[in-house]
Structure 1
Amino acid sequence: MSGAAKSGFGAYPRLLREPGALTLGLYGVVGRFPIAMRSLGCLLLVAAISGSLAGAGVVAAAMLVSQGLASPVLGRLADRVGQRKVLLTTCLVHAVALSTLVIAIVLGAPLPLLVVAAIATGCASVSFTSFMRARWAALVEQGTLRTAYALESVLDETIFLLGPLLVTVLATAVHPAAGLVACVAFTTVGSIAVAAHTRSEPVVEPVPDGGGQRAIAVTGVQVLMVAYAGMGFLLGAVDVTMVAFAREQGTPGLGGVFLSLTAVGSLAAGAVFGAVDWRLPQERLLVATSTVLAIGAVPLAFAGSSPVMAGLAVVAGIAIAPGLIAGSTLLEALAPKGSLSEGFSWLSSAGALGIALGTGVGGWLAESGGFEAAAWAAVGGAVVAVVLSATGQPALRRRRPVEPGMAAREQ
């Protein structure tokens, strides 16, 4: 099939008509919902039971940090023994750990015990987004992969729009613990369903003597990790910018609206980006999208009213999903054979670290210099991504050798 035939918005229906594609997408949505629910659900439950926002923040942070550290380990394990075994094992441990955390919070257990349960939960939380991208690489041909990653980005943005709303409604209208109980159900059902989707199971490659090359050892992957960290820093600082601006305007409730509009911009741009048959190499697209990301964040520092900020929030989001799509496509070509789950997990962890740093630095700057200072910090994060993706072009062009059988598959 020609590249032209695969471009346009018709690329998405064609992708979903591929055998197993529609069910894989649906199962992945179920399994990923907790990504946008778990930490917020934890905050809401601890705050409702104990009344301590500080304690709630400690528990949520422990869960997020442990997940970021464990994700690459679980990804590498999946590359070695298969995703199916890892998904089935971790979903059981996750269910036990998160249930224990919920019970401990409700019973008023001391903070150290809550932290231990939160760490156990984080260590059993696989990077579902990373696993899904590795599965798409195993399911579809090379020419369709960019569309598959675009679909993943659109689904991610949709989940981050709906997940916080769902967990908040459950925690306030049903029971403070209902959001985390839903996370247990979503993770268990989604993990089992994806594990049973044998058509997309990545092949476990034989491990050569010495353990084989790790994804983290590839220079191009390292460049992508720093670029992703820069993008994550921008996202964290933009979140703070929106919230700080809303507070300074005397309308704190609009902070969430601005963040949702950023996600809308990213979602729409991601859908368009995946539908276009780009002629530029992916490494140059990464530079271009990172540059647009940096430029799009600059006007945030000059917003003078809520309607203006609403429009600028959409603009600030238009390069988020395209940048992540370009990075995902590059990683698939760079990572050593049989290490995709690990590679995507490293990118996920780098992005999460960047978000945490951007939120912390942006919050500190917003306290002392207002929302404008946080906005300029966001620009700085994007500039890091631009510089790394531009100076790292030689490493990003150094593709993994393509085997004859794979070359035939890509035709």
Structure 2
Amino acid sequence: MRAPGAPSLAFWGMVGRFPIAMRSIGCLMLISAVTGSLGDAGLVAAAMLVSQGVAAPFLGRLADRHSQRRVLLGACLGHAVGMTLLLLAVGLELPLGMMVAAAVLTGCTSVSFTGFMRARWASFVDQRTLRTAYAMESMLDDTIFLLGPLLVTVLSSSVHPAGGLVACAVLTVTGSVFVALHRRSEPAGAQRPGERPRRAIGVPAVWVLMITYAGMGFLFGAIDVTMIAFAEERSAPGLAGVLLALIAVGSLFAGIAYGAVDWRVSQVTLLVFTTSVLTLSAVPLAFAGSLPVMAVLAVVAGVAVSPALIAGSTLLESVAPKGALSEAFSWLNSFGAMGIASGTAVGGRLADVGTSAHAAWAGAAGGLVALVLSLVGQPVLRAGRPAARPAPDMTAAEH
């Protein structure tokens, strides 16, 4: 944070991605309040999330080719239009298809702000402090997921049902503009004359990390369901939010500690270690017998979250093509989000037919997938960053 421009980059980056923890809740609260249908609200929110997950890597690719600044400014304009259309469609009670179409437009213009910020830090700081920068980003993410749901709930319930989504639009546009204008952190293209940059999606090491993140995301989603189902089983559904917040608290403090240590082992080893702890920490959740015990275990389960994500982010920076970091981080976040969605769906189904313990075991299974991938993929991950491919010799081709 001593580097010139670092505080403003961190602040506006946090502003820009605050809506990540707010959009779905704001959408659910607004549409259910206007239409009375939670099913319709869930469909619109899902359309927004799925379209965002699909579009984000392509927006990242555009940022690598044409600069983050152009993509951020163009996308935030499109996002404002999409959000306005969504608010109008809901306010005028237009057919569900119109709401879904507006939600898809909103999602397709939502860049992976988390990925863009990590690409900027990789360009802004040197390798010695990069892990610390990623630790700070992870801590800010935890803070966002602690405060974001509270903020959107207060705005939607106490101010106006549309207040949450309006705040999301304002935060997205404001954060995007100020980050785009932060020229010092703008990732520079790594393409040299005579080279054709590789796409991140074509690098085996990136695929290993993407699937590893999907496994971790599955664990996160299943554990979220575990906490909610456990609280309901104890006739205290209101405490589900407390249990989820305790996971974030454990992750927050673990991120502080992890980022402060100058680790002397390789990033691949750190990824294996953190995914091991992450997987093992999910197992005791299946045996919790009371709310106080589950509260302690929730903090323990959160301890490995930030370190695992930081290790994965740091490793991705070292294996992804230098000129494709925005795309690489966008793919990583999209796979993580798909993992969370899958873990939530599977965990919810298992909790319905069984108990919260079944959802916890599903989470441990997702963590096991991440652990196995981090072990099996070690040779690929240790190979390092791929070189750019030579551009075709057009002169020779003409002759």
Task: Specify if TM > 0.5.
Answer: yes
Preserved contact between residue 80 and residue 207 of structure 1 (Cα < 8 Å): no
The answer for the alignment partner of 2:397 in structure 1 is none
Preserved contact between residue 320 and residue 386 of structure 2 (Cα < 8 Å): no
The answer for the alignment partner of 1:107 in structure 2 is 92
Preserved contact between residue 206 and residue 316 of structure 2 (Cα < 8 Å): yes
The answer for the alignment partner of 1:354 in structure 2 is 339
Question: Which amino acid is the alignment partner of residue 313 of structure 2?
Answer: S
Structure 2's unaligned 5+ residue stretches are: 389-399
Question: Which amino acid is the alignment partner of residue 135 of structure 2?
Answer: A
The answer for the alignment partner of 1:213 in structure 2 is 198
Aligned runs of 1:110-259 on 2, under 5 Å? 110-206=95-191, 212-259=197-244
Preserved contact between residue 32 and residue 187 of structure 1 (Cα < 8 Å): yes
Q: Within the alignment, does 1:339 sit opposite 2:324 as a pair? A: yes
Question: Which amino acid is the alignment partner of residue 171 of structure 1?
Answer: S
TM-score normalized by structure 2?
0.96
The answer for the alignment partner of 1:309 in structure 2 is 294
Residue by residue over 1:290-310, the C-alpha shift from the partner in whole angstroms, topping out at 9 and shown as x without a partner, is: 000011010100111111111
Pick which of 207-216 and 74-83 moved more. 207-216
Residue by residue over 1:133-166, the C-alpha shift from the partner in whole angstroms, topping out at 9 and shown as x without a partner, is: 0000111111110000000000000001000000
Residue by residue over 1:62-103, the C-alpha shift from the partner in whole angstroms, topping out at 9 and shown as x without a partner, is: 000000000100000000000000000000000010111011
Q: Within the alignment, does 1:83 sit opposite 2:62 as a pair? A: no
Determine helix, strand or coil for the equivalent of 2:276. Answer: helix
Aligned runs of 1:4-83 on 2, under 5 Å? 16-83=1-68
Matches of 1:326 and 1:246 in 2, distance apart? 32
Determine helix, strand or coil for the equivalent of 1:338. Answer: helix
What RMSD, in angstroms, separates the aligned Cα atoms of the two structures? 1.3
Matches of 1:80 and 1:212 in 2, distance apart? 9
Matches of 1:113 and 1:211 in 2, distance apart? 41
Identical pairs, percent: 64
Structure 1's unaligned 5+ residue stretches are: 1-15, 404-411
Matches of 1:240 and 1:197 in 2, distance apart? 39
Matches of 1:205 and 1:300 in 2, distance apart? 46
The answer for the alignment partner of 1:10 in structure 2 is none
Residue 208 of structure 1 and its aligned partner are, at CA, apart by: 7.1
Assess, with a 3 A threshold, how the Cα gap between structure 1 residues 338 and 279 changes in structure 2: closer, same or farther: same
Matches of 1:190 and 1:84 in 2, distance apart? 12
Assess, with a 3 A threshold, how the Cα gap between structure 1 residues 205 and 173 changes in structure 2: closer, same or farther: same
Matches of 2:80 and 2:194 in 1, distance apart? 36
